[in-house]
Amino acid sequence: MGIFSGFKDLLGQINRIDGAVYMQGRDFADVYARNIALEEEIAKRTKELEQANQTILTLNSVWEMMNSSEPLSSLLDKIVSILHDDMGYTHTVIFKLEQDENGEYLSAKSSSVNKNINKAFEMLNTTMETYRFDYLPNSILAKSINDKEIYTTPDIKGILNMYFPTLNETQTEEIMQSVTAKTFAVVPLEKNKQHYGCVIVTSERSEITDTEVNFLSLFANQIELAITIADLFEEVKKQAITDPLTGIYNRRYFEDNIVKEAERALRLKQPFSVISMDLDYLKKINDTYGHQYGDLAIKTIANILKREARSIDIPARIGGEEFNLLLPGVDSNGAYIAAERIRKSIENQVLDTIGSITASIGVATFLEHSDRIDELIEMADQAMYKAKINGRNQVQLAHKQQDVNWQQIAVNAFAEVISNNRMYIDENIANTIIDKLNNIKVQEQSSKETLYSIADMISQSYNFSYQTGTTKSKVLLADMIAKKLELPKDSIDKLKIAILLYDVGNIMLPKEIYNKKGPLTPEERELIKQHPIIGAREILKPISNVQDIIPVVETHHEQWDGCGYPERKKGIEVPIMSQIVLLVDTFYAMIQDRPYRRAYSLEEAINKIKYEQYKVWNNNLINAFLDVIKDEIPH
């Protein structure tokens, strides 16, 4: 019994030990299982944390792009790159919803590289960027955009069949065999609460999770804001460099780019050309048909320039009916051919109600006609005005700089003033002046006589006591005084032009003032004091080839003692040419009859001028004047 009892006790001890071991083993198994589960949970949370961190980094990248003022195309490319490279999507495309005469469609604005997608477009002999994706009402893309919700589908083949209906079954299967994507997601985009388009992403994962959907939704919000900002930036930038009426570049953009082109041309020793163009008879179009048809004619020329220009050319509206075209790398022969082609295109364009229109065109070439930008533009303008006075609707090539004399500049200035209606003048007088300009032969003596007669006609149109032949006498006297002062030839030439143009501002004031027999009222005197400003800033400022004459016109009533007008300049602040103009003008005003007084004798006029020495004029000028009048004075 003792043995059996001892064995039983031993067996019980073994069972207890075995049970303890079993329980401990089970505990170990539970701990192990819990560890496995915990590790899985940690891995899952780590992955979610990584995804959240990547999401934050991605959204931050978009935010930084929004503050970089990048062009919209560059911005969209970066967004696509972020989704493809950083977020692991196999393919990403941003589509914009657009419309043409055939209805709404989607155009790809940016796309990541994908050989399978490229294969599809190769089969269709087109590209992603040029393919027209019809806006199919029942498609997942249209539903997503219209419903403003993110939609997903695993039916990649169905998408292919829907948007590439011309692919046959063999071609579709060939593409599908190499496709790794398993899910397709459409993320709608808006701009200013209006449909903009959508983002397409494809993934190798079997489904797009809720976390991904939330991320894509946040990402879309950032994209929409980025697009809005980039679009606004581009619109502001576009407005800064384009003409609002025609949509082509403005004067500022042209001037900035011609400077860059001149730097390039000098560096490479290559020419470029400028075409200067002016619509003929705009005032007649406006007066006959209305300003809306004048605008139509202006826009038509702009459209022809855009159509005829190369991609590197710069067409610009300089102002009013004036246009310039910059032709990089083109010499005068090539520019002339281009200008003639443009002229014919304008002439052949028949407009509603107006009919045909024409343009006068000038051509000048950098390094051939001049190596200075200001001279080049001036010479192109001079050639254009020569085309106008020779009958319009033609192309004229610029003369070399040494061939341009003061008569040509004066002719061009009168042509622009009259043809562009920069001052109020009777239509019959204007037509007579245009006829004279058309018949003028520059560089001949007759051209000077014609210019003198034109200046006389303009003065007589508002001042009825102005005598024929006075302008010629003024020019000759000014020339003699300038030579006595030993002024350089170019200054004397500018002085002659100034004598022809200095009083054009008077024509904008009431004629009654100049022909009044009684004394002027203070108000009338103040009105007359405006004529130098009117002439300089309103009539002459738009004319490029008389810019250095404008200061003379503007200050020709300033006096040596500072009591002149309009800005009370004094002493050496008043240009010597302005002093000469005032002296000559005053002298001939004195020796001619006026409605309010008789003409002074020559001696009386000289004494009055001498009396105002040191007051109105400086001593050197008066001495030169007195020396000149010892000889025969034209009067």
pLDDT tens digits for range 366-418: 999 998 898 899 889 888 888 887 788 999 998 765 445 788 788 778 777 77
Q: Is pLDDT at 308 greater than 90 in this prediction?
A: yes
| Residue 547 backbone phi and psi in degrees, to 5 | -60, -35
- Given this model, what pLDDT does residue 81 score? 80
Angle at 65 between CA 59 and CA 68, to 5 degrees: 150
- Greatest mean pLDDT among 66-70, 187-191, 322-326: 322-326
Q: How confident is the model at residue 337 (pLDDT cuts 50, 70, 90)?
A: very high
- pLDDT exceeds 50 at position 354: yes
Same domain for 395 and 363, yes or no, is yes
Instruction: Assign residue 509 the CATH number of its domain.
Output: 1.10.3210.10
618-624 long-range contacts, Cβ below 8 Å, gap at least 24? 618/560, 618/571, 618/579, 620/485, 621/481, 621/485, 621/576, 621/579, 621/580, 621/583, 624/481, 624/484, 624/485
Q: DSSP letter at 82?
A: I
pLDDT at 52 over 80: no
What does the pLDDT read at residue 634? 45
- CATH number, domain containing residue 306: 3.30.70.270
Q: What percent of the chain is modeled with pLDDT above 90?
A: 24
- pLDDT tens track for 107-122: 888 888 777 777 778 8
Residue carrying the six token digits 């001042």: 463
Which of 354, 376, 399 is the last residue before a domain boundary? 399
DSSP 3-state of 420: coil
Is position 67 within any domain? no
Determine how β-strand 183-191 pairs with β-strand 91-100.
Answer: unpaired
Whether 177 and 230 map to the same domain: the answer is yes
Q: For residue 44, what pLDDT is reported? A: 62
Per-residue pLDDT, averaged over 156-173, amounts to 86
State the helix-helix crossing angle for 445-460 and 470-484, rounded to 10 degrees. Answer: 120
If asked whether residues 111 and 172 sit together in one domain, one would say yes
Q: Hunting for tokens 């082609």 — which residue is that?
A: 341
* 57 belongs to a structural domain: no
Return the pLDDT at 255. Answer: 92
Assess if residue 56 is contained within a domain. no
| pLDDT on residue 63 | 53
DSSP string, 142-200: HHHHHHT--EEES-HHHHHHHH-TTS-HHHHHHHHHH----EEEEEEEEETTEEEEEEE
Do 546 and 439 belong together in one domain? yes
Range of the domain at 158: 72-241
User: Can you tell me the mean pLDDT for 323-336?
Assistant: 95
pLDDT at 50: 54
For 550, the token pair is: 């404008």
Question: Is the same domain home to 464 and 613?
Answer: yes
Residue at 63 is within a domain: no
pLDDT score recorded for residue 149? 92
pLDDT of residue 538 exceeding 90:
no
What average pLDDT does the segment 348-374 reach? 93
Distance CA 556, CA 558 (A): 6
Q: What average pLDDT does range 444-467 have in this prediction?
A: 78
List the single range of 240-254, 318-332, 532-546 with lowest mean pLDDT: 532-546
Averaged pLDDT for residues 187-212: 86
What whole-number distance in Å separates Cα of residue 175 and Cα of residue 169?
A: 10
Is residue 634 in a domain? yes
Instruction: Decide which of 613 and 267 is more confident.
Output: 267
Residue 133 lies in a domain: yes
Same domain for 213 and 341, yes or no, is: no
**584, 610: one domain:** yes
Task: Judge contact between 248 and 305, C-beta under 8 A.
Answer: yes
Q: How much is the pLDDT for 349?
A: 93
Of 1-5, 134-138, 249-253, the one with minimum mean pLDDT is 1-5
Query: Do residues 262 and 236 share a domain?
Result: no
Residue 293, pLDDT above cutoff 90: yes
Cβ-proximal residues to 568 (8 Å cutoff; 6+ apart), any chain: 558, 562
Q: Which of helix, strand or coil describes residue 203?
A: strand
Q: Using the predicted structure, report yes or no on whether residue 632 has a pLDDT greater than 50.
A: no
Question: Can you tell me the mean pLDDT for 345-358?
Answer: 94
Q: Are residues 237 and 265 in the same domain?
A: no
Q: Report the share of the chain in percent with pLDDT over 70.
A: 82
pLDDT of 635 higher than 60: no
- Please tell me the least confidently modeled range out of 53-67, 145-159, 347-361, 491-505: 53-67
| 498 and 579, same domain (yes or no) | yes
- To the nearest whole number, what is the mean pLDDT of the chain? 81
Tell me: pLDDT of 498 over 90.
no
Q: Among 216, 241, 266, which residue terminates a domain?
A: 241
Q: Rounded distance, CA 536 to CA 295, Å?
A: 27
Contact 474, 467 (CB under 8 A): no
Residue with more model confidence, 398 or 58: 398
Please tell me whether residues 553 and 456 are part of one structural domain.
yes
Which 8-state DSSP code applies to residue 467?
Answer: P
Q: Are residues 395 and 428 in the same domain?
A: no
Residue 60 lies in a domain: no
Q: 62 lies in a domain?
A: no
Mean pLDDT in residue range 581-595: 86
Q: How many domains does the chain have?
A: 4
